[in-house]
Amino acid sequence: MPSSPSPESCIKLSRNRNSNVILIAFFAFVAFILDQWSKGIITKNFLPGESKLAINGLLRWTYEQNTHGAFGLFGSNAFMLVGMALVVLIIFWFAFRDAAHHSLLARIGFGLIVGGAIGNIVDRVEHGSVVDFIDFYHIWPNIFNVADSCITVGVALLLIASLATHRRS
């Protein structure tokens, strides 16, 4: 018959889980604050549709009020888009929770995804649209924001952590 875990090992496991949650929350908070701060600068200094060159031939700051989902997809119903974002967060958590338990990279990635998603959700709830402004006009056809960047980097980190975890198995 297998022995039950000692109280000390249960406490250690609980501390590890708490520190994992704190790390995810920290990165989510940082991503959210940077996103909202950058969007605040844009909305205070630009009119919708206004564009200013930042780096000639590479980057413009272009203020867009994006009513659609990722890459202009999924319609423009704010409540549906918020609901979809929450469902995707839940799916990501279930898909990558084991990787997050074992990998610092996965915890950072998930924190970035959560913070970015919350940043865009706050925009949709407050304004009915998302503030986009990063415009690599010769390289990428879509204008995006810090939240979108955090989500993209977070997904890449989760995939890298997941691949590393599977390689060790």
Q: Give the CA distances from residue 41 to residues 27, 52, 61, 132, in Å, rounded to whole numbers and listed in that order.
A: 21, 13, 11, 12
Q: What are the C-alpha distances in Å from 154 to residues 54, 102, 124, 135?
A: 26, 16, 21, 20
> Among residues 35, 123, 135, 148, which one is catalytic?
148
Residues in a beta bridge with 51: 62
Rg for the chain (alpha carbons), in Å? 19
Q: Which of 35, 123, 132, 135 is labelled catalytic?
A: 132
Residue 98 annotated in active site: no
Known catalytic residue at 35: no
Residues annotated catalytic, as ranges = 132, 148
